[in-house]
Structure 1
Amino acid sequence: MTDAPDLALFHAPHTRSIRVLMLLEEMGLEHVVEAAPYHETGEKLEAYKKFHPLGKIPALRDGDEAIFESNAILQYILGRYGPSDLEVKPEEADYGRYLQWLHFGEGGMTIPVSLLLAHTFMLPEDQRNPGTAKWARAEVDKTLAVLGEAGLEQGREYLAGNRLTAADISVVYMLYLLKLIKQFDGAPEAVKSYFKRITGRDSWKKATA
């Protein structure tokens, strides 16, 4: 394991920076956590935009380098500070599965989960669209079914290989959002068990504390 004393993560509770914190905890990498001033205006926000041009979360500072986008940060840390069992290598049988589910957690799940979040929880009630919420709920159900049937088929405990990987860290965050807005109860039992298994790890508990 490589020391990483210059790693600083800009973090806020309940955000995608949880993914990065969980990875850092699993890898045992030294790091500091800084509050991201994404809600600020003026000089503080402009200073933060050196690390994330949109002023969003997360962003990682590694010495003089900055990187944003949570799944990209996962890959960056694994590539720079690995090797780690949290990454499936190209020569391994489940490499394709690993990449697929790593990106499914953002590319496949973000739009329906975000719209459901917005139109059932975040937006003022007079701005919520019931039709959009209904469509998003149906699309979320599809993603959860695919996760249960294609991701966790035949009793798989993890999405890629026989161990926790960054793919699980990517996906479990989206399930966490559904849990927060009370839209997770209808998930397949395999997905519920999977969520409980991953979120029972010390790394998750520390990342979400």
Structure 2
Amino acid sequence: MSDLVLYHAPRTRSVRVRWALEEMGLPYRLERVDFTKRPPGGEEFTRINPLQKLPALTDDGVAISESNAIIQYLIGRYGPTDIEVKPDEADYGRYLQFLHFGEGGMTMPVSLLLAHTFLLPEDQRNPALAKWARHEVAKLLKYIDEYGLMDRDWLAAGRFTAADISVVYMLLLLKLIKEFDTAPDTVKAYFARATEREAWKKASAD
């Protein structure tokens, strides 16, 4: 087994990668990144990821970033694993759709809502942007409800997969900024189901 090192801070996208590592049962070492340092994480982390953002993973010294790319890397290199849906399975296209929807489709509205209701100083928040983002987030949640979870416990293949890891992390961000209360009941139940998994509890513990 290679020496897998995950650079991590709580509530960042490194939670996704840690969750996948736990679901796959892979041994790894956790390196906590201190963002109070300048540059963030210190000079050593800058050499791992020049963008100074999380997550980052090294595999015998080879560095890769982007949370969903790391998950795909782990699946490809250390699978087979049940969190992957294979090309010969009926839900393969659906799996890819939601794996990338969790980042590509959800990031802009969720990030704008996060910024303009929570992260930015109040005098820099734009109420119009927050309103637009809240409207877009409501559409995303409706999509997950009506298309993603209709008569399903999980998003693809009748089991928990990396697609769920991708999407549930974004739901976590909404929950953290108290923008999840208006989510459809189906989506709330889905979030609760996912976060009862032992791998999630380990990944999100600290």
- Interval containing the TM-score (normalised by the shorter chain): over 0.9
Identify the residue that residue 30 of structure 2 maps to in structure 1: 33
Is residue 41–residue 52 contact of structure 2 (8 Å, CA) maintained in 1?
no
Partners of 1:93 and 1:138 in 2: CA distance: 33
Q: 1:122-156, CA deviations, whole angstroms, 9 ceiling, x for partnerless residues?
A: 11111111000000000000000001111011x20
AA aligned to 2:23 is: E
Q: 1:118 aligns with which of 112, 115, 118?
A: 115
Q: 1:158 aligns with which of 119, 140, 154?
A: 154
Identify the residue that residue 14 of structure 1 maps to in structure 2: 11
1:49-198 equivalences in 2 (<5 Å): 49-153=46-150, 155-198=151-194
Partners of 1:42 and 1:145 in 2: CA distance: 40
Residues 44, 105 of structure 1: alpha-carbon distance in 2 compared, 3 angstrom cutoff: closer
Unmatched 5+ stretches in structure 2: none
Partners of 1:25 and 1:45 in 2: CA distance: 27
Partners of 2:46 and 2:154 in 1: CA distance: 36
Amino-acid identity (%)? 63
Say which SS state the counterpart of residue 64 (structure 2) adopts: strand
Residues 54, 43 of structure 1: alpha-carbon distance in 2 compared, 3 angstrom cutoff: closer
Where has structure 1 moved over 4 Å in runs of 4 or more?
A: none
Partners of 1:124 and 1:108 in 2: CA distance: 26
Q: TM-score, normalised by structure 2?
A: 0.96
CA displacement at 1:17 relative to structure 2: 0.4
AA aligned to 1:192 is: K
Calculate the aligned-residue CA RMSD, in Å. Answer: 1.2
- Count of equivalent residues: 205
Q: 2:197 aligns with which of 189, 196, 201?
A: 201
Say which SS state the counterpart of residue 34 (structure 1) adopts: strand
Q: 1:29-85, CA deviations, whole angstroms, 9 ceiling, x for partnerless residues?
A: 100100124442259633212221200000001002100000000000000000101
Say which SS state the counterpart of residue 49 (structure 1) adopts: helix
AA aligned to 2:48 is: F
Residues 49, 186 of structure 1: alpha-carbon distance in 2 compared, 3 angstrom cutoff: same
Is residue 40–residue 52 contact of structure 2 (8 Å, CA) maintained in 1?
no
Is residue 84–residue 162 contact of structure 2 (8 Å, CA) maintained in 1?
yes
Is residue 118–residue 177 contact of structure 2 (8 Å, CA) maintained in 1?
yes
